[in-house]
Amino acid sequence: MEATTSSYALPGVNISNSNISKLRHDVSVVCFQRGLRVPDRNRTCEITCQSSWSSDTTGSTFQDLQLRMPIQKKSLAGKTFCNAGVWTHPMNATESHSHIEEDKVGVLLLNLGGPETLNDVQPFLYNLFADPDIIRLPRLFRFLQQPLAQLISVLRAPKSKEGYASIGGGSPLRKITDEQADALRMALEAKKVPANVYVAMRYWHPFTEEAVQQASISVKKPFRQIKRDRITKLVVLPLYPQFSISTTGSSIRLLQTLFREDKILSTLPVAIIQSWYQRQGYVKSMADLIEKELQSFGSPEEVMIFFSAHGVPVTYVRDAGDPYKDQMEECIYLIMQELKARGIDNDHKLAYQSRVGPIQWLKPYTDEVLVELGEKGVKSLLAVPVSFVSEHIETLEEIDMEYKELALESGVENWGRVPALGCTSTFITDLADAVIEALPSATAITTSTNDGGDFNQDPVGYGIKMLLGSFLAFILLVFPALKNHI
């Protein structure tokens, strides 16, 4: 551990070790924190340190040292903690501006990922639909997962390529997420919490596997990487405000597998922020964007605020207990309450977009609601992409092009769209606060057992299953109701 001397005096520190108090005035003592206790009934911190000092006559000396000092700060979560740093004789306790570097903090940002070129579209779609948290097959049909993903990706690739071509030939998601990572790192630095921020995409580069390896390689091989990659405490921050088993849940499931397979990672303290839609900073950031965009209309008070969220299959909520729908509805309520507090009480509506296949997804559907609103005489509409914090194909192509055209054809005359949060300062600052608040709760990640997969156990049988699956996958795709009877 390292402690720096760019610090200021801490008052009220009592040194209990008598040998320290007898040292000559010119002998220095540096204290590196080793243990910490905050008594429940005492407003002081007891810190056990290993002190070291040197003099011309005795050389270097090491011994334990007890420090007692008032509680210095409270975290944003309301938890007390002590600040300790370099102690120099005689009787000057100092606090490092960055505190003692007892932890090397890492932040792992989780996101969906997106194809960066048109050639990436089909393999990206395959990765997406091969995820069992995206297409949830009955146990009997799980060997069809990869053949079905291959079939769907091939069938959908041409249309998806047209969409990506219309927004420049690829997704901007990686670039924007990298910018958010840089902004978050700087926000944490400004709060005296230096951290490495990594980006982990679920279905395209940089894959979660790559990001975890990047974050952990110097933990396993400390002399191969520079010191800044030696992570000792990790905060996992999904860039999905609301939790769903198909987004945050899928990424966490993958992390559990990766951590279980690594002896070092399995003991690394990790804090996972499951969702953060209810955070005041996020709610205010969304309200700020909505309020600003409303001013672009001639009559802001007449504008319908139209929240469009990414949908999930109904079975996720009904059968698997996905909290996504409830969290989304609560999120909209909180945003509207914030707007009402500002004197903005417009009508609003929530709908769900991006459904795939013939199965039932969360309703109402965005495209159907837009037609209904137009038919009911709504003339001004402000679209709000509420489940996205970055611009990507669902905002730039689906909302800005497809839904805008549909709304105008249906009778809406004035269309506007709230931009994604991106690197909005209020939003990034709140994410930094969320990271800081999560740090005290970091613990070894919970893992579950895994049999290693059919391929590792029986590669020949796995190949036969894949061959049969290629034929059966099409049947399941065309007749999805079959799986409900298995």
pLDDT tens per residue, range 407-450: 999 999 999 999 999 999 999 999 999 999 999 998 987 544 44
pLDDT bin (cut points 50, 70, 90) of residue 397 is: very high
Q: 235 — alpha (psi -120 to 50), left (phi > 0) or beta?
A: beta
pLDDT bin (cut points 50, 70, 90) of residue 256 is: confident
pLDDT tens per residue, range 43-60: 444 444 444 444 444 444
pLDDT tens per residue, range 212-234: 666 554 333 322 222 346 788 88
pLDDT bin (cut points 50, 70, 90) of residue 211 is: low
pLDDT bin (cut points 50, 70, 90) of residue 72 is: very low
Give the type of residue at 66. Answer: Q
pLDDT bin (cut points 50, 70, 90) of residue 312 is: very high
Give the Cα separation of 153 and 175 in Å (integer): 24
Give the type of residue at 107. Answer: V
pLDDT value for 10 = 33
Domains of the chain (ranges; CATH) run 7-96 (no CATH), 105-277+425-444 (3.40.50.1400), 280-417 (3.40.50.1400)
Average pLDDT of the chain, as a whole number: 76
Q: Please choose, from the candidates 370, 430, 377, 440, the residue with its C-alpha nearest in 3D space to the C-alpha of residue 403.
A: 370
- Residue 115 burial (CB count, 10 A): 26
Asked if 469 and 144 touch (Cβ cutoff 8 Å), the reply is: yes
Structural tokens at position 65: 């040292």
How large is the average pLDDT for residues 144-154?
91
pLDDT value for 137 = 82
pLDDT value for 318 = 95
pLDDT value for 216 = 53
Give φ, ψ of 366 to 5 degrees: -55, -45
Helix (H) or strand (E) holding 383: strand 380-385
How large is the average pLDDT for residues 345-349?
99
Structural tokens at position 383: 């679209």
Q: 451 — alpha (psi -120 to 50), left (phi > 0) or beta?
A: alpha
pLDDT tens per residue, range 133-143: 788 888 788 88
51 vs 164 pLDDT, higher one: 164
